[in-house]
Structure formats: C-alpha cells, structure tokens
Chain A
C-alpha cells in the first residue's frame, strides 16, 4: 500500500481536537448557579455516567472522520497483480474482406468464426470490428453491445481490393496508442502470402497487442486466372491491333484451357492453350474487330475453380479516327514543320493528322477543331488568333509553344504568357552549345535523362518569373546553366507546354536525335490526354479527373454498378477518383473528353497460397500451428511477451476511503444530534 500524497497524513494529528473536546473538556461540566437544589435529586449522576459512555461512540466516530479525511487526502493505493482478476481488455476482430475471400466460403467461414468468438466474449469486455483489405476500416467503435458487434460482422461483404497485413499492423499501432487496455487482435483471414508487405518489419505489432490468427480456406484451392492482358488503349486500324493475354495457374495441375476474347459481350475469338502445372501460358489474338468508340473487352477462361471472379480480365479499347493537329509556323520556317510532322508520323502512325499552316494562313482558323496546336517559333501571333488560342486552352485544349530566334524578337510569349528575358546564344560561348542539365523524369514527356545527354542546344529563350511562379508552371527540363527548357503551365482546363528552343535544327540538334521522335510522341499524347490511357486499371487505382486545381465544369462518373459515386459538389472539385470496384467505369471529364476504364482486381489476390507456418509463427511471436477456430490457444505478439497480466497495477483506494468518510460523518451527525441536542421544551 502506498500514498500518492503522503504529506497529507500529517493531517491525522488533528485527532487531538476531538480528544481534547471529549477527554479534557468532558470533566468540566457546565456549572449553573441555581436558587435551590431542594427539588433536584443527586441520584441522577448515574444517568450522566451512562451518557458519558455513549460519548465514547461519538468520540470514536469523530476520530474516524479525522483519520479518514487525512487518508483521503493522501490518496492511498495498493499494488495488485492483475492475474487474479480478468483485466479490462479490448478485443479487436479484423475480418479480411479482400478479393481472395470470395473463393469458396472463405468470407462466410470467417464471419462465422467471428460470431462464435463474440458469443464466448465476456460481457464486461469491449470489442471492435474492423474490415481488412488494402486499408483497414472500422465497422464499429469499441463497444460492449453484442448485438451491434454481431450486426457489424454480418454487414461485412466481399470487396475487390487486395488485403494488406501492413495496413493491419499500422491500424493496430494506432489502436494501441489510443487504447488504455491491452488489445487482443483476432484476424479472420485466408492469410495469403501475397498480402505480406515487402518488408516483414511493416507487419510488426506494438507491445500490448496480442495477435490471434483464425485461418480460413485451408488448404489452398487451385486457381487459374487471366493474369494480364496487353492491349492498346486506342486503335485507329483494327487490323493492326494485337491482344496478348497471360493465363496463370496457382497451385494447379497442367491443363488445357479455352481462352475467349469478348467484345461488348460477344465472343469474337477463341483459343485453346496448355497451361503447365502452376505455370503460365500466353495467348495472342491477331486482330480486333471493333466498332467506333469505346468497347468493353475481356479475356475469359473456362476454369471452374474456387475463385471464378478472376477468370475474366477486363479492358477497354477505343477505336477512333485520326485526331487532327495544327502546327503554325512562320512562312520562312520550313524546317520545323518537316521535322515535327515526320516525327509524329513515325511515332503514332494513323493516330494524328497534322495540318501545317503559316501564321498568316492560321489567322482565321478556329483551333477548337484540333486536338492540339503547335506554335512553332512564331514571331507575332495575330490578336484574334491569340485570343482564340487562349479560349481554346481555357476550355481544355492543349498548345505546344516553341521559342526559336524568331519568337525571341517579341517581348511576350504567345498564349503561355510571361515576358521574354535575355536570350541565351550558346553558339557564341567557348563550348558552342549546352546540354540538358536536369530532367524531371516524372513528367510524361521527358522520358529518361540519358536520352537527352547528346542533344546540343545552341540557343534558348529566357523567361521572366518562370522559377518564382512555381504554382502554375512546372519546369520539366533545365539546361546545364539552369535555364528552363521545357515548362508546363495550366490555364483553365487546358495545358500549355513551352519549349524554350525550336524544332528547326538551327537552335539545337534535337530533331536529329532519336529522342526527338519519342519526345514528340509523348508530348502530343500527353497534350491530347491519350498518353496515360491504358486498356485496364487495377482496383484501388486513382484516376485524375481534371488537370488544374481550378474548379470548373463537373465530372461525371458512373461506376460498374451504374451508380454515380461523386456528389455534385465533389464532381465539380474532385481531383482524383479511386477505382474501388472491379468492372467498367464511365467518365466524362471536365474538358468534355469521355473515357471508359476497365478495372480488374489485383492479380496478387489470385494466388491463394497461404503464408508459411514459420512466417506465421514469427508474426505471432510464438512457434506453433495456426489456430483454426475461435477456441485456439492465444499467443502473444512480439514485444508483448511481458504482458499487462504480469505487471502489478496501482489500484486507488480513494473512493473506498471517501465512502467510509461519508458514512462516518453521517453517523457522527446522528450520534451528536441524539446525545448532545437540547431536549424539546415540554408543555
């Protein structure tokens, strides 16, 4: 037993006060002079003695009040081992609802095991239900309500996400930081090997968390899946399209499989392939007959295994006419159109149709009919054309501006905005040129820095405020002297990309290098929004809904189930959309472009092989087999071996002392009123 504030025990010395009142003052009874004691009887002394005996009770109560008050202020406590009584414990039930739990009756088994555990949970213990996939979501808060817990377990349904034990460990760490009681974490999962993070350390559980594993779906069933499909996202000539698919078997014997290509719900081609035992086989479809527009395509196999949802791989293909592009150049510059058009034709055959016009010819052109516009070293842009170009960009159009020697004569950069600074004429310097010094490889048009190493720049235009205005301009390439070479600025819903040199093979030798073709291809695809278009995405991927941060027109999204996941407010401001379900998403972007995105579950989920027993034992911190029921022996997580059960805990006795103090005070009041009160006046 100890005291939090032992100094207050000195208050017990106050017991001297009631002792003085009772033992010292008691003998000095009040002496009252009276005219005559003729009618009093001294034999009443015995009654007084009896009364004094009663005073001992009053004295004892008063001493108790003083001592208990001093004890209460000192706040006593006792150290008590928690082994004798069941400690307050939080049971956390994490139920894996990832895509692999669709196999067989895994999710139903997991929920049944969780309900069985809840049925045996002590009534005084709190519990919480979590759903585990790529993220951990709390289905309930910590509660003792068994009905709420059961309802939460029942409400969990399968998802298309990939499970992550690293996310579970992170959630356990967060719970342990906020919970005062020890946590017993029950994981109901198929314990897939592929759910492990690359580093085992990410799965480590904090001290105070005891992990109990409830494995379902053992042993692992054989599973075939369409692992991947390689298909173009956009085709202009269907005869040129080639579809490649990889069929994988996980824990499977060798088997012949029929692979079908389905376009808009119709099987257009079929192949039979021999899939080796637990191996992969590739199949190819040479042509793809498609209608114009987006088509919902899929590659299917007839596997009839435990997880049929991964027997189909969805993808989309857009068949479109070549997109028109416009290149505006000075009449005297015949080299730039030649180099650019040649590179574009080589990079994306049949994808684009390029119109080349001089500035004078383009004065009355409406740019809105073009997918992109290139202003190639244009010295002076007519006012009407400049306005139309700015309006075009604001509505989502894209413009590539190059600044050669002709454009340097103007003070302002057309469309892009900003003033031109002193131009850099590197040809007059000792080396005669400068190379690319820094490259932002994350920028879609840049590629690898090594591609730019041999490119010589003899001239580059300097812009004012490019570096300072970082919120709207992004420098993707810099020359060795720090001069920005490739800059992007978002204007409204569109983009303007600026190359501070030309395409004329005079201000640089870029058109003579292979990187020029790749650069033109990536830049134009990026500007037209077709660069990142893949034929299929994975569940939980994000897709960008708008280019800039400015709010504009709403984005329309229809998910695979035909619902609109974005509210009106979110559709007007959301920058990204997470693809949470497998299937086809229909999107209409703010710039008016439409897209159809195929989403497939992560194929890591198709591998139903569980974690090795030794790995599981290492995770739990105790060697042994994985439990298969709720009644399995419980193990302690690493770092939690010295659990709270073995640690003496301080239990405060303050409330008990206060209760006794209250009772003593009440008893003292009653005794004092009874013994010392003035008798009621008689009639």
Chain B
C-alpha cells in the first residue's frame, strides 16, 4: 500500500475530516485503491460466472443476451454478490471517550463503523445495520438495502456519544430478538469486562450462523500508561479513583492488560469468533482487511 493511500487511513488525518460519510468514502476508496483488484476479494460489480437458471431464481439476473443466442437461460453472477448482511455493534460507553492523543476511541470506532457500512452498502450492495449500546441498546438501525440507509446509519453514528457503562448481556440479549437473518456482526468495543463474560454474551450470536468479528479497541495510553510520580486515576465509567504509582503502571499493569488481551484472543478463537486488536494510533486498514477476510469466507 502506497504512502499516499496509507495517509488516508491514518486516524489522525481522518480526525480533521468533518462528516462520517466523507471519512468513510476516504477510507474505503483509499483502501480499495490500494488493493489493486486483488483476487482475494470480490465486489458486486465484478463478473464471476454464468450459472444455469433454476426455478425460483430471480429473473432480473437472467442474461438475456445469452438466452437470445443460445435459447438457454443463464444467470449472470458477480463476485461478492452474496447479499450478505452486516450489523455493526458499537460500544458507546464512557470508557470509549478516553484518549491519550488526538483521536478518542469512540471516534476511531465511528471511523471504522462508517467505513465498514460504506463498504458494505456502496461496494458490496449488502444490507447493513447499526446497534449503539452501552449498558443497554441506545439506538438501533435495522439492516436494510433501502435507499438512504447509509445516511441513516451515519446519522446514528454521529449521535453515538459515550455515556454510562459497558454491559454486554442486556444489549445482546435485546439484539438477538431482532437478528432474524444470518450475516456478519462486527462488535467495536474496548472490552473492559472479564473475557469469559464477554465471550459468554457474544457467543450466542454465533449460534444462528452469524459471523462475528470482535474488534478490540484500545488507546496506546492504555497499553503503556504514562503516569508521573504521583497521580490519582479516575475511572471514566465508575468514577472510582485511587492513587497509583508510576512503577506499577510501568510494570504490573502492563502485565495484566497483556494477559487480558491474550485471554480475549484465545477465548474468541475458542468460540469461533474473529478477534482483532485495534490501537487507535494505527491506520484503519487492519479492520477493513479483517472484515473482508471474514466476508470472503462466507462466499
């Protein structure tokens, strides 16, 4: 991927762009341009094959030119034309408002969500929906391919400001009642809960044939906290505060959060979930690449 394209995936650069639609278009166009028509991934407008018509097939996909020459009905199929369904679950709890640099975790999550939704609707012709949650479902946009769906989704993203705490059980329980069709579920969260609890809440989504992608968003300041000699840390969700030492932050804390990440990774794979750690000072292409990989596996 060229440096110019990479530049459009930099979250710091995206932070200067107003409007999630423009952010999404910038990210996806830049990402697609960098792929150079890779054979790994197919988009809906790329021709794939002809298939013999079978009763029940949509007549709109019959290639009538071929039928005129051969008097046989063939369906024209395109790559990626699987009519997949993408549902993005965005964690909008207070912990997502943390930032040790220019881009908050919630902003980074919105960039990814917008990019994925743009990619699904505009490039894949997939139905896409959005669930914004914290300790409950705050907003829900049903997956659809209707005209104006992308604008509705981006508007919901714009309104997703962090508040409250994270709880996976209640919102996912609520979500299971709405998800009738199989599809891809992308979860964007910092996952500040015990790994067992997270996997236990998410795993049921997999039972219905959904592909679940777990994007674990962390700020670089959460991986390597820079704390002075004397500091009192305040929990953004619980408002709990207590003094910490720099020695602990540089030692014991790093061990514990590394162990937490590794536990999540192992538990997710054990449950058949795709897991990807995203650090908010890194480009967005890792998320897009992970999504396309998962979608490719569904074809």
Contacts and interface: CB of A to CB of B under 8 A. Distances in A.
Contacts of A681: 224, 250
Contacts of B190: 35-36
A44 B98 contact: no
A34 to B, nearest CB: 4
A38 interface: yes
A387 B231 CA distance: 114
Interface stretch (B17-25, B150-158, B234-242): B234-242
Interface stretch (A209-217, A258-266, A672-680): A672-680
Interface stretch (B61-69, B111-119, B253-261, B271-279): B253-261
B236 A33 contact: yes
Interface stretch (A45-53, A220-228, A360-368, A565-573): A45-53
B101 to A, nearest CB: 13
Contact of B243 (A33, A44, A676): A44
Interface stretch (A24-32, A70-78, A144-152): A24-32
Contacts of A39: 253, 256-257, 260
Contact of A45 (B95, B192, B240, B243): B243
Nearest to B192: A36
A679 B247 contact: yes
Given A30-B228, A682-B251, A35 B243 contact: no
Interface residues of B, number: 41
Interface in B194-244: 219, 222, 224-225, 227-238, 240-244
A37 B250 contact: no
B245 A44 contact: yes
B142 to A, nearest CB: 30
A36 B256 contact: no
B214 to A, nearest CB: 17
B246 A35 contact: no
Contacts of A20: none
A41 interface: yes
B105 interface: yes
Given A31-B241, A33-B236, A39-B257, A51 B105 contact: no
B7 to A, nearest CB: 27
Contacts of B238: 37
A35 B236 contact: yes
A42 interface: yes
B250 A40 contact: no
Given A30-B228, A676-B229, A678-B228, A37 B248 contact: no
Interface in A624-667: none
B248 to A, nearest CB: 5
B162 to A, nearest CB: 10
Interface centre among A31, A34, A40, A677 (most CB of B within 10 A): A34
Given A36-B95, A38-B192, A678-B229, A31 B234 contact: yes
Contacts of B230: 29-30, 48, 51
B60 interface: no
B36 interface: no
Given A29-B230, A39-B260, A48 B219 contact: no
27 contacts: A29-B232, A29-B243, A30-B228, A31-B231, A31-B233, A31-B241, A32-B234, A33-B236, A35-B98, A35-B190, A35-B235, A35-B236, A36-B190, A38-B192, A40-B242, A40-B253, A41-B252, A42-B242, A44-B243, A47-B247, A47-B248, A48-B230, A678-B229, A679-B250, A681-B250, A682-B250, A682-B254
For the complex of A and B, the 5 pairs showing the least CB-CB separation, nearest first, are A35-B98, A42-B242, A35-B95, A36-B192, A39-B256
Given A36-B236, A675-B229, 8 more contacts: A31-B241, A32-B231, A35-B96, A35-B192, A36-B95, A36-B190, A39-B257, A42-B243
Interface of B: 95-98, 105, 190, 192, 219, 222, 224-225, 227-238, 240-254, 256-257, 260
